[in-house]
Amino acid sequence: MVTSTHETSHRIFQDHPEVLAPLFEALGLAPPAKADIVPLTPDATELKPLERRVDTVLRVEPSEGEPFLLAVEAQTRKAPDKGVNWAYYVAYLRAKFDLPVLLVAVCRSRTTARWAAGPFECRVGPWSSQITRPFVLGPDTVPEITDQTLVADQPALATFSAIVHSESRGIDAILNLLAHGMRSFDVATAKYWSEMLEVGLENTPARDRWRELEKVVISYFPGRGTVFEEAYYDGEAKGKAAGKAEAVLRVLEGRGLAVSDDVRARVSDCGDLARLDDWLDRSGTVEQVEDLFDGMPDEPQEEQGS
């Protein structure tokens, strides 16, 4: 309730700014003159509402402890006004729902991630009235995919990891492991996560790479009439073989295995799709590159060539 005492306690500073002198002195600022203080309306209600939307807001009720809100913001680059907006989101959600708020920024770029961690301060001189410190999910806090079994066990985490690392140097190896792991899914599941990843990669170079690998993912489901299968059969056989050969080599290199020029030539020159499929299966588990060819006959001469 607004009382006379309440009103007097703050209006005195509007009419007599010299009362603020001790405050400014403590902050090391020059004492204000009356002309330096311009009263503004204290009404925080926006007569013309501004559109402010948090990307995602979740109410979390842990098995132990108190519930809280999780506000998730996807941030692709630095934004001068974002710190102010984030502070507003946290304060507004805290007041509206009477719950603590954890603000999470999702960043693909390490530079953006370091910036997004803040702190973002509302400061006057040396004093901060409000500090906003988002928790950042980025390349340094989300682990890369290094085991294809994770794709089958935790497809959501694997997909999210690929999105977060879409601007990292190892993204090609990550996408290859994802493509290989998704081949164990049924058609609907593979299509769902494949499209989820494609959308998440947005306009990054990794998206183009994934669009090629999608054809390999769905190639295990012939005759199903999927969009990906149609795209797969649209290309020439040589193009298909080249794509699979590249996938084999990228998986091997992504696992840190040394690929000799002879092995690279043998894989790249192979035009047998079934053989390439088998090599792709083996590429995720072999201990050394030469094991890729164990127990397999040499390729027919007609498969060789540029």
Question: What pTM does this model have?
Answer: 0.57
pLDDT digits (tens, 9 = 90+) for 263-272: 888 888 888 8
d(CA 151, CA 158): 5
pLDDT above 70 as % of the chain: 70
Q: What is the dihedral of CA 70, 73, 79, 80, to 10 degrees?
A: -20
Phi, psi of 183 (to 5 degrees): -70, -10
pLDDT of 249 strictly over 70: yes
Domain ranges of the chain: 4-36, 56-137, 149-303
pLDDT digits (tens, 9 = 90+) for 133-158: 998 888 998 888 888 788 888 888 88
pLDDT digits (tens, 9 = 90+) for 115-124: 999 999 988 8
Count of CA atoms in the C-beta half-sphere (13 A) of 144: 18
Q: What's the pLDDT at 104?
A: 86
pLDDT digits (tens, 9 = 90+) for 198-225: 888 877 888 888 888 876 665 544 444 4
Q: How much helix, strand and coil, in percent to the nearest 5, is found in the chain?
A: 50, 10, 40
